[in-house]
Structure 1
Amino acid sequence: MQPFVYNALPARVIFGHGTISQVSTEIHNLGCSKALILTSPGQIKAGQTLQASLGPELAVGLFSKAILHTPVDVTEEAVQLAQTLAADCVVALGGGSTIGLGKAIALRTDLPQIVIPTTYAGSEATAVLGQTQDGIKTTQKSMKVLPEVIIYDVDLTLGLSLRTTITSGINAIAHAVEALYAAEANPITDLLAEQGIERLARALPILSKDPQNKDARSDALYGAWACSVCAGTVGFALHHKLCHAIGGTFNLSHADTHTVLLPHTVAYNAPFTNPAMVKVVRNLGIPEGVSAARGIYDLAKNNGAPYALKDIGMKEEDLERAVDVALKNPYPNPAPLEREKMLALLRDAYEGRRPA
């Protein structure tokens, strides 16, 4: 056994069906009584339903302007509302954008967070915050942004669209794949990474045909949690750097960008990460002789997800700028970061080519 360091992140996790009913108990457990509920514009009704269930004695307001990449100006507006209402905690109901807003508020106010994920994005289990200002997305680690309570309610994922199901699921897989070869990789997160990849790779094809399959939804949500714990415990590499650079700079969907880029970043690193690739292949359940990169590409394409940057809003003339942004503050990566090779990677991803 090789020496390793493992830092466990403190969090209370509640997983099951109908668990959203436990929000009031968790607010009380935190010693709070004035929750500000957060949602995106598309989930206002869900937020209003939660607000009504908590009643005015627990829910003091609803902020429903969470959007992609957590713009600083939106966060400042939400902070001002929280302070005006004297909120003593936030309850984030939604996907990565809403959870990101809750974390950004916590960074500025130290308010405790209860998060209720409705996708497989995985931000809820990390102490990482990404936020955008003046068209540039930056990330930082701080225990101030780690949510205190995560409530996973499988029933809330039953209405996910096919596209969101597959792309947020592959977004989660990306956390686990990079965790297997990140600088801080260790045998404990490896186990979680493999389990997360296996659950999601098994569930996503089922859900593409049967979106209401509760067993598959449960597997996918559990897999997303396992993958997000990996992302929260170890560092990131080239894949996340490119996704942050492209998504934040060009305002592309976070999950779509992860889905399109992952096969190509895996192929880029594969010659330097063979032990990790063996684990990925084993848990993807792909045919013998198919590489990890191709297996991930096929998982996306065969189940209705986008697989080309040009199809999610990226412009070909922006590829070089994307590489330059990614190289400004690179994350540690097993393969050397070479500009021309990274540009070739993005060109393949732009065209949607199956990795060689």
Structure 2
Amino acid sequence: MRFVHDTLPQRVRFASGAAAEELAAEVATLGAQRVMVIAGTAEAEPAARVTAGLPVVHRHDDVAMHVPVEVARRARAAAVEREADALVSVGGGSTTGLAKAVALTTGLPIVAVPTTYAGSEATAVWGLTENAVKTTGSDPKVLPRAIVYDAALTLGLPVTLSVASGLNALAHCVDSLWAPRTDPLNQALAVEGARALRTGLPLVAAEPDALEGREKALYGAYLSAAAFASAGSGLHHKICHVLGGMFNLPHAQTHAVVLPHVLAFNAPGVPDAERRLAASLDAPTATEGLARLYDELKAPRSLRELGMPADGIIEAAQAVLAAAPAGNPRPVTLDAITGLVRLAWEGAEPR
């Protein structure tokens, strides 16, 4: 056995119902006196509640999916104008992504308070979209210094969005099994994350107002993101970044739709990892386990229903081919990706 594994420097605070207290402790640790809070309008109330005791100089609610460059410019200007010395993000992946865009150019530290299962808070990956092209990169400056996980903050997330967000987290687990920098440590995180999500998401769907399922899903989402942060972006994420940027599709739902098709495509090339994933999903095969979970959760199935045009399939496949990572378990060809995207667009059974 021989590998190199990077563990990212980050504190994790997990305390249901105690976000305000834990967040205040982190801001005090930073010594911050001029905090910029980033939270979309939908998160305005919980953001105001958990940041009430902080030295806030600006509350920024101009948040958009896939972090358009013009949105990032406005947020960066606001941080400079208010002389902010720290950023607090309260929300999902778009909110965390905008905080990262500000940190990328200003170097300001981030404390992230997630309200979904997106996982962006645990990675050093940033993304910006311009002219229908999403560009991503990795930089230590954008990794939040700390994460405050409070499952109570996810109680307001509707079941449909909880399912999509949780399956996005599961996609981090699956992709980490064969991503460019995969190793035994992040694979262990991925397998345990998948197990937690397989347990937690059905509980969220069955009892959305209970904390047990929300906590398990949030725990699984962190493990999935920690695995992904180390392993890097595999084929699944390259496909979803292309589709999201090109057609402005909803992030979590796009990942949920694409995941079964990428798993069906790659699983034959990684039999050992497939067996471990199958065990985590409590099924004879990983594809069968994922199919059962999708049926149980009534998960989204079709890119067409998300707003992707049929005439975009070929263009998207060509862009994916250009972005596909080296070392994928199976050869990535234009025909293969075109077929995969077409099946996902139709909402057909993966094959």
TM-score range, shorter chain: over 0.9
Give CA-to-partner distance per residue, 1:204-259, whole Å, 9 cap, x none.
11211111221111111000000000011111111000000001110001100100
Task: Report the equivalent of 1:5.
Answer: 4
Checking the alignment, whether the CA contact within 8 Å between 1:263 and 1:294 is kept in structure 2 is: no
Within a 5 Å distance, the mapping from 1:303-314 to structure 2 comes to 303-314=297-308
The AA in structure 1 aligned to 2:60 is F
Checking the alignment, whether the CA contact within 8 Å between 2:236 and 2:262 is kept in structure 1 is: yes
**Greater shift in the superposed pair: 293-302 or 303-312:** 293-302
Aligned to 2:239, which of 239, 242, 245?
242
Cα offset for 1:293?
2.6
The AA in structure 1 aligned to 2:212 is D
Cα offset for 1:260?
0.3
The AA in structure 2 aligned to 1:350 is W
Cα offset for 1:170?
0.8
Number of aligned positions between the proteins: 349
Within a 5 Å distance, the mapping from 1:192-271 to structure 2 comes to 192-271=189-268
Checking the alignment, whether the CA contact within 8 Å between 2:67 and 2:127 is kept in structure 1 is: yes
Cα offset for 1:5?
1.0
Q: Whole-Å Cα distance in 2 between the matches of residues 24 and 61 of structure 1?
A: 16
What are the ranges of 5 or more consecutive residues in structure 2 without an aligned counterpart? none
Q: Whole-Å Cα distance in 2 between the matches of residues 179 and 294 of structure 1?
A: 19
Task: Report the equivalent of 1:320.
Answer: 314
The AA in structure 1 aligned to 2:234 is A
Q: Whole-Å Cα distance in 1 between the matches of residues 271 and 184 of structure 2?
A: 16
The AA in structure 1 aligned to 2:84 is A
Task: Report the equivalent of 2:337.
Answer: 342
Q: What SS class does the counterpart of residue 218 from structure 2 fall into?
A: helix
Give CA-to-partner distance per residue, 1:107-152, whole Å, 9 cap, x none.
0100000000000010000010111011110110111111101000
Q: What SS class does the counterpart of residue 244 from structure 2 fall into?
A: helix
Q: Say if 2:100 is the partner of 1:106.
A: no
Q: Say if 2:19 is the partner of 1:20.
A: yes
Q: Whole-Å Cα distance in 1 between the matches of residues 280 and 188 of structure 2?
A: 11
Checking the alignment, whether the CA contact within 8 Å between 2:202 and 2:213 is kept in structure 1 is: no
Q: What SS class does the counterpart of residue 2 from structure 2 fall into?
A: coil
Checking the alignment, whether the CA contact within 8 Å between 2:46 and 2:153 is kept in structure 1 is: no
Cα offset for 1:67?
1.1
Cα offset for 1:265?
0.5
Q: Whole-Å Cα distance in 2 between the matches of residues 94 and 331 of structure 1?
A: 30
Change (3 A) 1:339 1:300: same
Q: What SS class does the counterpart of residue 54 from structure 1 fall into?
A: coil
**Greater shift in the superposed pair: 291-300 or 172-181:** 291-300
Checking the alignment, whether the CA contact within 8 Å between 1:38 and 1:102 is kept in structure 2 is: yes
The AA in structure 2 aligned to 1:150 is I
**Greater shift in the superposed pair: 302-311 or 245-254:** 302-311
What are the ranges of 5 or more consecutive residues in structure 1 without an aligned counterpart? none
Q: Whole-Å Cα distance in 2 between the matches of residues 164 and 352 of structure 1?
A: 18
Checking the alignment, whether the CA contact within 8 Å between 1:277 and 1:292 is kept in structure 2 is: yes
Q: What SS class does the counterpart of residue 90 from structure 2 fall into?
A: strand
Give CA-to-partner distance per residue, 1:37-67, whole Å, 9 cap, x none.
001222222233344x125xx1111000111
Checking the alignment, whether the CA contact within 8 Å between 2:13 and 2:148 is kept in structure 1 is: yes
Q: Whole-Å Cα distance in 2 between the matches of residues 54 and 323 of structure 1?
A: 49
Checking the alignment, whether the CA contact within 8 Å between 1:36 and 1:62 is kept in structure 2 is: yes
Change (3 A) 1:324 1:124: same
Q: Whole-Å Cα distance in 1 between the matches of residues 288 and 345 of structure 2?
A: 16
Percent identical residues: 38
Q: Whole-Å Cα distance in 2 between the matches of residues 140 and 226 of structure 1?
A: 21
Q: Whole-Å Cα distance in 2 between the matches of residues 292 and 345 of structure 1?
A: 18
Q: What SS class does the counterpart of residue 177 from structure 2 fall into?
A: helix
Q: Whole-Å Cα distance in 2 between the matches of residues 350 and 190 of structure 1?
A: 29
The AA in structure 1 aligned to 2:74 is E
Normalised by the size of structure 1, how large is the TM-score?
0.95
Cα offset for 1:309?
1.0
Alpha carbon RMSD of aligned pairs, Å?
1.3
Task: Report the equivalent of 1:355.
Answer: 350
Q: Whole-Å Cα distance in 2 between the matches of residues 68 and 255 of structure 1?
A: 10
